[in-house]
Chains A and B, each alone.
Chain A
Amino acid sequence: MFEIKFGTNGNLSLSGRLDASHADRAVQTLKHVSGVVVADCEALDYISSAGITVILELHKRLHGSGGGLRLVGMNPKIRTVFVYTGLDKVLNIE
């Protein structure tokens, strides 16, 4: 189960497991997100390389159009996946 909730300020909340079986749906859901976005990852339990790619593509698109993506509230397990793939140095993770 993976879910994306949109706040009234345009920010996001990610919850559940972002794996390869949910990646395509996540891309579709995030297609219209724009501007400077904060994604709350506190309820995110799992992310694989497929999920990382979803986040990375969102980051590139927002960054390329003058916006940005900030990832907040990651638990240590999720953060480790970003560290192991070297993306903790590239993405804005708090």
Chain B
Amino acid sequence: MPVRAWVRCFPRDISRLPEIFHFAHEFAEEEGVGAGPSHALDLVLEELFTNFVRHNRDGRHEIEVGLERFDAAVQLTLRDFDVAPFDPTKVPSPDLTLPLEAQSRGGRGIHLVRKLSREFHYGHRDGVSAITVSLSLSPGQEP
């Protein structure tokens, strides 16, 4: 069980990313999360936050970021309120075997999330989109 859930809301503006990183670094320091998982946390937070901002352009509410430390994992949850469904777990990864010119421009961020995460789930209920990602704290499993 986590000792404490860290939850904060951020304006849906990509220029506010440094504030999200600051929040994540505060969490990592207080909860004893190492440099490797903390780096993975930054990457996943950025990719998912920017994904919510770009795919729900009509969204009017702030995006909620929740972080929890468990024994062997960090769980992060992003919630976007009053929005249409958009499931990032269904976004195909780019075909990395194709020549660069033939690869699609999109999908690299979500591909990165898949590579970094132990679990990656999406749900939509009553107008709320929620993404939950679990990151391993085990040595050797972080970037």
Contact = CB atoms under 8 A, between A and B. Distances in A.
Nearest to B108: A49
Chain A's interface size range is 20 to 34
B111 interface: yes
A84 B43 CA distance: 12
B109 A86 contact: no
B17 A80 contact: no
Interface in B1-59: 14-18, 21, 36, 39, 42-43, 46-47, 50
B43 A48 contact: yes
A2 B100 CA distance: 26
A84 B15 contact: no
Secondary structure call for the B interface: helix
Contacts, number: 54
A86 B17 CA distance: 25
A77 interface: yes
Interface in A51-94: 52-53, 56, 60, 77, 80-81, 84-86, 89-90
Given A50-B109, A81-B112, A20 B96 contact: no
Contacts of A81: 43, 112, 143
A29 interface: no
Contact of A84 (B18, B100, B101, B115): B115
Chain B's interface size range is 20 to 34
B46 A48 contact: yes
Contacts of A80: 143
A77 to B, nearest CB: 5
B116 interface: yes
Contact of A19 (B17, B94, B101): B17
Identify the 3 closest CB pairs spanning chains A and B, nearest first: A86-B96, A49-B109, A80-B143
10 contacts: A17-B21, A19-B21, A20-B46, A21-B16, A48-B43, A53-B105, A56-B100, A81-B112, A84-B112, A84-B115
